[in-house]
Structure 1
């Protein structure tokens, strides 16, 4: 068997990926035996490829046969589908909105907090007496942090908030990818 026919078989095999490995191997063996049979009849490679047709169409024909051989009604399958959508539905009611709100809020606050610390420090150093800057700061009980310590605390707080926002965003993406992967693994 020459390289063109081997390439044809590998293309058919790639197109049959949705099938289980054992079925895919059986189909490729069947096509290979047909090719060998045609070679024994002294057909050229071009004639063999012409008879078989395009590899994607041949694979689609096998996949179509698989789809028409529906396994039928199964209570177990219905229960798995219901359980999956119930869990995803109820968890999605909580997880997606919470992380969808928390992530951007923490990211924005993580960026704004150090800027406010800089404004407080610049106001203090240049004696600008900007309105409302007196309200920027950190207070621990009865003790209020000064402008310099407010600057450093705001940077620390900004980094923490930004890290929390980034983590929440990654969790949201991970949740969505996991749900999508699980749904595709169910082969509904």
Structure 2
């Protein structure tokens, strides 16, 4: 087995300590089989491990699934299940709106900053010093001729930041969706 896959399985095993030994072995064999099959079908080990996601989150989804399957009531299992859903729901209340709003704000800011730099530069060609874009960095104010390059740099940073936040938000929502599907299918 590949060194990366072995490390991934070790991390997964570490986070599955709450389960009974046989359940833990079954899960590790299932994941190892999935990795082997995907690599045999031509996927790279990095692609497979990325698709599986964070070993801790994968272990949490397996743990919650195992807890839902148990018929017997025990306080420890109930506490683990409540913890899983509380963390998922609580983080979703803050992560989804904050990252979503920041992603949109950065996206529009990228265009506004670039437009302000262009307007300021056009004004300079006609002899006007438009106060639409003034670059102050503490005590230093950027000269008018440097406003456009600075605005382009900041616009690019805002744009890249918005795309990264958007991708992170989609990955987060996907991981919650996968965990939800696993839990839903175990209830059926």
CA offsets, 1:40-91, max 9 Å, x none?
xxxxxxxxxxxxxxxxxxxxxxxxxxxxxx8744447644432221111111
- Extract unaligned runs of 5+ from structure 2: 1-68
Distance 1:80 1:112 in 2: 47
In the other structure, the counterpart of 1:105 is 105
> Paired residues, what number?
116
Are 2:141 and 1:159 aligned? no
Distance 2:156 2:138 in 1: 23
In the other structure, the counterpart of 1:26 is none
Query: What TM-score do you get using the length of structure 1 for normalisation?
Result: 0.55
Q: Point out the structure with max Rg over C-alpha.
A: 1
Pair 153,81 (structure 1): closer, same or farther in 2 beyond 3 Å? same
Secondary structure (helix, strand or coil) at the match of 2:131 reads helix
Are 2:185 and 1:178 aligned? no
1:97: Cα distance to partner? 1.6
| Correspondences of 1:129-140 after superposition (within 5 Å) | 133-140=130-137
Secondary structure (helix, strand or coil) at the match of 1:177 reads helix
Distance 1:77 1:179 in 2: 20
1:140: Cα distance to partner? 2.3
- Extract unaligned runs of 5+ from structure 1: 1-69
